[in-house]
Amino acid sequence: MVELRRVSFSFQPHTAPRAVLDRIDLVIAPRDFMGIIGPNGGGKTTLLRIILGLLAPQEGSVRVLGQSPAAARRWVGYVPQRAAVNLSAPASALDVVLMGRLGRGRWGFRYSRADRAAAMDALDCTGMASLCDRPIADLSGGQRQRVLIARALCSDAQLLLLDEPTAGVDVEAERSLTELLHQLNARLAVVVVSHDIAFVSTQVRTVACLNRTLSIHKPQDVTGETLAAMYGGDVRLVDHHGHCHSVEGA
């Protein structure tokens, strides 16, 4: 489904290069549930943006669904970290999800019946269909995150990428979102960037440890020694709502 071979990426590669990714290899299989962990600045968000075709590596090759990342982008759903939602705009949950249908090769901005049907299907899939007409500003943090996931699914996604999807939500919303991701994983691959070590160690099938270089592990094989090596020993675990989160600079 996704294959990266010897991929390297640096910002300002021709002046003062700073390697963010260094010759990484990665394969994401259909219906995989992968967690990506690593320190701030270790390349996690950069990796997602390369898979999306928003950044191009200086070295190596990237194939997504058998195509270039740019060509495959319409089938990749993306929920960025702290996705911005204009709470002052008079937009409903359905309006936000319909934005996932933009840029699908049609002229103009009028949504078709098929667009609306796809948006309602995505809302139903995320348990938000009954609140489709509710203003986005009136939803809880967990409900808004579900709407943003529905927006990502509305693009007919075969792969779902999420950057810190449970950040800033309460423990009940976090549990509900985790259940939703498992339900979605029954039909598509899910990749989650997270600092929540407990989530990664208990919920995913594959763990990608990334700090410029990348190593792949089974969740049960991610130990304190693994984390210390990846974070350079400059990390401690903090319990928050019963989950261990990595904190750097300790």
Choose between 226 and 140: higher pLDDT: 140
Select the highest-mean-pLDDT range: 86-90, 93-97, 139-143, 166-170: 93-97
Cα end-to-end distance, the chain, whole Å: 38
**pLDDT digit string, tens, across residues 138-168:** 999 899 999 999 999 998 899 999 999 888 7
CB 138 within 8 A of CB 85: no
**Which runs of consecutive H residues, i.e. helices, occur in the chain?**
44-51, 69-72, 93-98, 113-125, 141-153, 171-185, 197-203, 224-231
Mean pLDDT on 30-35:
96
The pLDDT-based confidence of 237 (bands split at 50, 70, 90) is: very low
Distance CA 134, CA 248 (A): 39
> What's the mean per-residue pLDDT of the chain?
86
pLDDT of residue 104: 59
Q: Tell me, what DSSP letter sits at residue 98?
A: H
Question: For the whole model, what pTM was predicted?
Answer: 0.86
Q: How confident is the model at residue 111 (pLDDT cuts 50, 70, 90)?
A: confident
pLDDT at 239: 46
pLDDT at 245 over 50: no
Nearest to 210 by CA among 60, 4, 13: 4
- List residues bridging with 161 in a β-sheet: 78, 191
Residues 192/38, Cβ–Cβ less than 8 Å: no
pLDDT tens digits along 163-193: 998 887 788 888 899 999 999 999 999 999 9
Does the pLDDT at position 34 exceed 50?
A: yes
* pLDDT surpasses 60 at 79: yes
Alpha helices in 82-164 (DSSP H): 93-98, 113-125, 141-153
- Check residue 233 and give its pLDDT: 62
Please tell me the predicted confidence (pLDDT) of residue 226: 81
The CATH code of domain 2-248 reads 3.40.50.300
Predicted local confidence at residue 247, as pLDDT? 47
Report whether pLDDT(220) > 80. Answer: yes
